[in-house]
């Protein structure tokens, strides 16, 4: 007759392994969306160089507050 299992050890994944998996996911997402990422970077650079980026963030925060108060139209 087989022995009864009395102790089960959970397989532990090291922090380094988790970080590598996360990095691999990010690299895959960047690779799959290369064109969109580059366009997004270009957009941010343009907004920054024109001085628009500095005031657009507070404006977006105001819009979020209004959405929280009145709700979003769906």
Give the whole-angstrom CA distance, residue 14 versus residue 9. 15
What pTM does this model have?
0.57
| 54 closest CA partner among 41, 66, 44, 39 | 44
Give the pLDDT score at 19.
97
Give the pLDDT score at 56.
87
What is the CA 57 to chain-centroid distance, rounded? 18
Please, are residues 41 and 32 in contact by the beta-carbon 8 Å criterion? no
Query: Could you tell me which residue, 19 or 59, shows the higher pLDDT?
Result: 19
pLDDT at residue 60 tops 80: yes
Report pLDDT digits (tens) over 20-58: 999 999 999 999 999 999 999 999 999 999 999 888 888
Token digits of residue 3: 């022995």
Give the pLDDT score at 57.
85
């Amino acid at each position: 007759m087989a022995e009864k299992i009395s102790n089960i050890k959970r397989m532990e994944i090291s922090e380094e392994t988790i970080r590598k998996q996360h990095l691999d996911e990010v690299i895959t997402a960047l690779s799959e969306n290369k064109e969109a990422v580059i366009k997004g970077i270009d957009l941010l650079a343009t907004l920054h160089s024109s001085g628009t980026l500095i005031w657009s963030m507070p404006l977006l925060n105001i819009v979020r507050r209004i959405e929280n108060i009145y709700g979003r139209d769906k």
